[in-house]
Chain A
Amino acid sequence: MLLSDFLRHELDLTGTHVGCEHGVCGACTVLLDGEAVRSCLMFAVQADAAEVTTVEGLSSKSEALAASNGDADGGPRLHVLQEAFREKHGLQCGFCTPGFLMTLIPFLRDNPSPSETEIREAVSGNLCRCTGYQNIVRAVQLAAERMGSEPGPLS
């Protein structure tokens, strides 16, 4: 069983999406021990004993993972990167978005102040049909700026 199918259909963590089943579109990207991998190209058993983080683990009511911008009404507190995607309109249909987010988490950890070119290259393995990418790039720039001032454990 593929890791993507295991996450989605056995654990009901349906935030991870499957767009192509052959490792090109990046929608299924999750973190495996902190690094971005394509869950459609792995068997679940290969993740044995590893730590897997999906998009559901990005936003949380847990203070440790959350940015300081949670909703007053008790809604999920968004990660800085998620909040930046919302502010810069970095998503339309939102299907590819979890994959972009999970690709960008280790990228921003390793490169906290990337140039536009570096951002575009970092997400060049993720396909988006809706946005034309530019608002995704802007969201990453905004997140990098904010994360510089308040880093979180995942960032």
Chain B
Amino acid sequence: MNAPHVGSSVRRNEDERLLTGQALFVDDVHLDGMLHVAFLRSDYAHARIKSIDLSTARSRDDVIGVYAARDLGDYWRPGPLLVPPPPIERLEFHQATQVPLAKDKVRHVGEPIAMVVARSRYEAEDALALIQVDMEPLDAVVDLEAALSEESPRLHEQLESNLAAHVIQEKGDYSAVVDKAARVIKRRFHFDRGASAPMENRGVVADWNAKSGELTVWDTTQAPIPIRNGLARLLDLPEAQVRVIAPFIGGGFGPKIMMFYPEEVLIPWLAMKHGRPMKWIEDRQESFFATTQERGQIHDAEIALTEGGIILGVRDVFWHDTGAYDPYGLTVPINSQCTLLGPYQVPNYYSEFRVVFTSKPIVTPVRGAGRQHGVFVMERLLDIAARELDIDRVEIRRRNLLAPDDFPHDHEIIYQDSAPLVYDSGNYEAALDKAVEKMEYKKFLEEEQGRLRAEGRHVGIGIVSYIEGTGIGPYEGARVTVEPSGTVCVATGVGTQGQGHFTSFAQIVADQLGVTPDRVHVVTGDTSKFNWGTGTFASRGTVVAGSACHEAAVAVRAKVIAHAAKALRADPGDIELVDGWVRVRTRPESCISLGDLAVRANPLRGAVTPGTEPGLEATAYFGPERGTTASGVHAMLVEVDPDTAMLKILRFLVVHDCGKVINPMIVDGQIVGGVAHGIGNSFYEQLHFDKAGQLLNASFMDYLLPTATDVPTVEVDHVETPSPHNPLGTKGVGEAGAIPVGALFAQAIEDALGEGAPEILEMPLSPNRLFELLSEAGYYNSPSQQE
């Protein structure tokens, strides 16, 4: 009997190539005769383009082509609306999508205006300096609320204002319960932007073969198939003649799912126009402007509770910054809206948001995708409620958690995937208990904290809960093939950016076919290998594509058994698949290798039985009815030095529930990496835009990613509550680590500072900002600090 591979920490199949420098990333693609492209980008956040003079740049000998919007002819058109708004009553949405090259106006710093083609990137960049653009600067739109005032400059002339959307979702009747509440707590919360900052910037290489009429594009995308489909439409080519390859991708974190970036549209066009392979690789500074970002929101939120701390309802009105364009629809703010409800019973909910155009880079999902904001608001409201009602922080959460038998739980609003927000399963109190116990929460508060304070040390504890809607549809597919060598090949349409799909998909398939995962060869992200799919986003790769792999493997297993029963003259019920062999359980010497069986299933002569298919191969698609709800608890012990406002994380614990765990090593790696991202978003990383919409810290010298000395060792534990929505029982995990960290920092820092601490109502913080908050709150003059 084979030990199941699903559930064990199998080492990764992809690592050898990555460790030896043999993995192909987009910038590693070198083609004969390849030309290089550089983009001239706007220095202004908001300006009218009066004229563009390309003649000097064109006159350089080493320049092969220079283009502005007018040179694109009919090819110039705004990008598609990627995610149409869900069917929510009274919803108002104004579409304004990005353009390939700015024509009349620029709407954020870094928006591309012109491009140069040259033999090298060095020469292309030199020529950019020779392009003359006459611009009339306009006032920038930076502040979210001011953007909606009558006086604000308008970014999109065709619209009446900078309002991109207005959405109200309601459950129950908040206004009816607020008067009956023993306590109503109301606060304003601010969230600001960060960069996704994958270590690999974006890039596109395109190669047009005029003789075969085939276009091949290497793209750092999380969604190769939709890119292929879109390019085929834009370039008027059959989909079958366009191949998009997302090879190894150096981290995605959301912005690489955005499409179409201007460069994705333009590089293939240039390759066809010049009949030469074309390459553009984003540099790090470009990525700070040209890659999408996230996280600007302002919330006016209130919570109504009983004296005992039971939630009667929540009211939240918020503003969401979508940047200069809104190609990704409402995914991010709807995630904020829905995730705010968390693991709690909230009988009445009023949530209203306005999406606002600003003259800043475009906003699309970044790891967490709006969920952070919802969690921050809810957890902060509960922390403040606990303090005002004199209830322990953990206890107030416990009193409001959904119970294991409350599932499926219908929140009566619509989620980002247009399906009703219904939680599939969960066991929230078990995770909370585990965290409380492991952190020795009570002991810390009752014994340790006072002792440390007496020593002059400010140490605090935080515990927060969250849920994450993951694994949404519409579908993914996979094809599983047993080859004559006995190797099992799996092809799926999702892209992979480090999540270990080459291994976890192999484990899923290996268990069905009785082979080891290293005998399973997985291909992702190449449209010539699998034709259908949507992409890697919303923590859905393993849930949706993994389930498709499972279903395809189950179908191949059935074929294996049918063929083997015939070949071995045995009852199908007696066939077993073990170690690459197919044998009869009662007489194991009667056996055939999986590879030999594959040869038999694809005979060169004779006949394939009518009604059957040749080979040991199957394709399956999996489309979940709706997403699945992962959950977790994060806890932290933090020491704050009030004099420097620096933090030291003494302990960090995550108790996570992503249902069935396929590969614990990979899952824990996803969680820990997410936490590091969350720590960055909470205390190090912030994109600072000035009033003119200029980004002030567009380099890794100025924009601080957390390093090995900033991120602590994270302990990870699990609760496994299977999802009923897929055959594996699994839930997504890719974004989980990053989601509740801001809420956790706020609670733990307040607890560490103790009496006189300011309420922390904003993210991200930084040492400087924390020092300001402490100063403003008079913390340094408070009696507890004067002792």
User: Taking the complex as formed, is B454 at the interface, i.e. its CB lies under 8 A from any CB of chain A?
Assistant: no
Give the dominant DSSP class at A's interface.
Answer: loop
CB within 8 A of A76: which of B11, B20, B249? B20
CB within 8 A of B250: which of A13, A76, A95? A95
Set of chain A residues within 8 Å of B700, measured between Cβ atoms = 20, 22, 24-25, 127
Q: With contacts A22-B701, A93-B249, A137-B708 known, is A86 near B19, CB below 8 A?
A: yes
Contact B709 A95 (CB under 8 A): no
Set of chain A residues within 8 Å of B284, measured between Cβ atoms = 19-22, 25
Within 8 A of B (CB), among A48-79: 54-56, 58-59, 71, 75-76, 78
Q: Which of B15, B21, B670 has the most CB of A within 10 A?
A: B21
Query: How many B residues face the partner with a CB closer than 8 A?
Result: 54
Contact A59 B19 (CB under 8 A): yes
Contact B711 A134 (CB under 8 A): yes
Contact A131 B15 (CB under 8 A): no
Contact B283 A21 (CB under 8 A): yes
Minimum CB–CB distance for B715 against chain A, Å: 10
Q: How far is the CA of A32 from the CA of B200 in the complex (A)?
A: 24
Set of chain A residues within 8 Å of B15, measured between Cβ atoms = 85-86, 91, 94
User: Taking the complex as formed, is A150 at the interface, i.e. its CB lies under 8 A from any CB of chain B?
Assistant: no
Set of chain A residues within 8 Å of B771, measured between Cβ atoms = none
Within 8 A of A (CB), among B398-450: none
Within 8 A of A (CB), among B690-726: 699-701, 705, 707-709, 711, 713-714
Contact A130 B251 (CB under 8 A): yes
Q: 1/0 per residue A78-104: CB within 8 Å of B?
A: 100010011101011111111001000
Contact B28 A14 (CB under 8 A): yes
Q: Which residue of B lies closest to A78 (CB)?
A: B19
Contact B21 A132 (CB under 8 A): no
CB within 8 A of B11: which of A15, A18, A86? A86
Contact B708 A24 (CB under 8 A): no
Q: How far is the CA of A91 from the CA of B25 in the complex (A)?
A: 15
Contact A22 B251 (CB under 8 A): no
Q: Which residue of A lies closest to B23 (CB)?
A: A94
Contact B27 A25 (CB under 8 A): no
Set of chain B residues within 8 Å of A8, measured between Cβ atoms = 27-28
Set of chain A residues within 8 Å of B500, measured between Cβ atoms = 92
CB within 8 A of B200: which of A78, A95, A124, A137? A95
Q: With contacts A86-B15, A92-B673 known, is A127 near B199, CB below 8 A?
A: yes
Give the dominant DSSP class at B's interface.
Answer: loop
Q: Which residue of B lies closest to A91 (CB)?
A: B18
Q: With contacts A86-B12, A92-B500, A132-B675 known, is A127 near B709, CB below 8 A?
A: no
User: Taking the complex as formed, is A16 at the interface, i.e. its CB lies under 8 A from any CB of chain B?
Assistant: yes
Q: With contacts A16-B21, A19-B200, A127-B700 known, is A95 near B251, CB below 8 A?
A: yes
User: Taking the complex as formed, is A121 at the interface, i.e. its CB lies under 8 A from any CB of chain B?
Assistant: yes
Q: How far is the CA of A16 from the CA of B23 in the complex (A)?
A: 11
Contact B714 A129 (CB under 8 A): no
Q: With contacts A18-B27, A96-B199, A129-B673 known, is A121 near B709, CB below 8 A?
A: yes
User: Taking the complex as formed, is A12 at the interface, i.e. its CB lies under 8 A from any CB of chain B?
Assistant: yes
User: Taking the complex as formed, is B506 at the interface, i.e. its CB lies under 8 A from any CB of chain A?
Assistant: no
Contact A89 B665 (CB under 8 A): yes
Contact B498 A15 (CB under 8 A): no
Set of chain A residues within 8 Å of B672, measured between Cβ atoms = 131-132, 134-135
Q: How far is the CA of A132 from the CA of B199 in the complex (A)?
A: 13
Contact A17 B16 (CB under 8 A): no
Contact B19 A94 (CB under 8 A): yes
Set of chain A residues within 8 Å of B711, measured between Cβ atoms = 132-134
CB within 8 A of B199: which of A14, A124, A128? A128
Q: Which residue of A lies closest to B702 (CB)?
A: A24
Minimum CB–CB distance for B247 against chain A, Å: 11
Q: Which 9 A-B pairs have the closest CB atoms?
A: A15-B21, A95-B250, A93-B498, A94-B18, A132-B676, A92-B498, A14-B28, A24-B700, A132-B672
A-B contact pairs, 11 of them (CB 8 A): A17-B27, A18-B27, A25-B700, A56-B21, A78-B16, A93-B248, A94-B15, A129-B676, A131-B669, A132-B672, A133-B708
For the A-B complex with A120-B708, A123-B708 known, give 11 more contacts whose Cβ atoms are closer than 8 Å.
A17-B250, A25-B284, A86-B12, A87-B11, A89-B665, A92-B670, A94-B15, A120-B709, A130-B673, A132-B674, A134-B672
